[in-house]
Amino acid sequence: MAAKRPGKQVVVAFRVDRHLAEELERLSDKSGFIRGAIERAFHVSCPVCEGRGTVSHETAAYLGRILGRERALRCPCCGAVSPSPGRGGIRGPRPGRVPPRLRVAAVACGHCGVDEHRH
């Protein structure tokens, strides 16, 4: 059961056994831990950074060229990047060319749009 609170946040309650409750109480940021665990369960780790959240400058430039050329779009809701509808395979990079910033999509990504998941 979820209760709405001001500021777009929602409180979610769920049952756990006594032992898990005791372990959760030991955490300094229980809510942050639970949010992180749920996020990891719903998302796949990046195959490039392997979940570290950083890549080399060369790798970032390479990926930026590919995403720009493939006309990738950024979700206006969650910020996820995905290819434009109807775009096909990925071609090799064009050396020395810096792509423009990714366009923000007019509509939310599949996850946010289909589930009406507005952050």
pLDDT at 28: 94
Whether 80 maps to a domain, the answer reads: yes
pLDDT at 90: 43
pLDDT at 102: 62
pLDDT at 57: 92
Q: Which residues are within 8 A (CB) of 13 and not within 5 positions of it... i.e. 6 or more apart?
A: 1, 2
Query: Whole-angstrom Cα distance, residue 96 to residue 109?
Result: 30
Which DSSP category does 62 fall into?
H
Whether 68 maps to a domain, the answer reads: yes
Whether 97 maps to a domain, the answer reads: yes
pLDDT at 100: 52
Which DSSP category does 5 fall into?
-
Whether 6 maps to a domain, the answer reads: no
Whether 66 maps to a domain, the answer reads: yes
Query: Whole-angstrom Cα distance, residue 92 to residue 87?
Result: 15
pLDDT at 113: 63
> Inter-axis angle of helices 18-25 and 30-42, to 10 degrees?
110
Per-run averaged pLDDT (10 residues), the chain, 119 residues: 59 91 94 87 78 88 88 81 63 47 66 55
49-60 pLDDT per residue, tens: 887 888 899 999
Whether 108 maps to a domain, the answer reads: yes
Tell me the residue range of the domain where 65 lies.
Answer: 57-114
Whether 12 maps to a domain, the answer reads: no
pLDDT at 73: 85
Please state the domain count of the chain.
1
